[in-house]
Amino acid sequence: MAAAEERDGDEKRRPKRTSSRRPRKTSPATAMRSAAEQLASLLGRVPESVSALKPIEDGWEADVEVVELERVPETTSVMATYRVTLDGDGDLIAYERIRRYTRGQIDRR
């Protein structure tokens, strides 16, 4: 009986765990793939690349490059950068086109 009483006493001293959990955080690699795949599903175009990825308070923000209009030669194709916002589980919650440019264009910053 003494062992059972000690065990009961130990259990009373341990802090109780709450059931509220923080949202699961997606890894950067998974977030990149998820942003590209979900945007492709919405636009019906296959993304060329993910050019930026950064963590935000509740998930991720990614810039995804997409060919909007294919031309010959390829350097004259019209490209677009889409900013994709993912929640902590990697689900797309918003996107917007932030830039259009020709593939051969070089940024001057």
Total-model pTM: 0.75
Task: Place 42 in a pLDDT band, splitting at 50, 70 and 90.
Answer: very high
Chain segment 50-90, per-residue pLDDT in tens: 999 999 999 999 999 999 999 999 999 999 999 999 999 99
Is the pLDDT reported for residue 15 higher than 60? Answer: no
Q: Which fold has domain 24-102?
A: Nuclear Transport Factor 2; Chain: A, (3.10.450)
Task: Place 23 in a pLDDT band, splitting at 50, 70 and 90.
Answer: low
List the chain domain ranges. 24-102
Across 61-83, b (16+ Cβ under 10 Å) vs e yields: bbbbbbbeeeeeeeeebebbbbb
Amino acid 103 reads: R
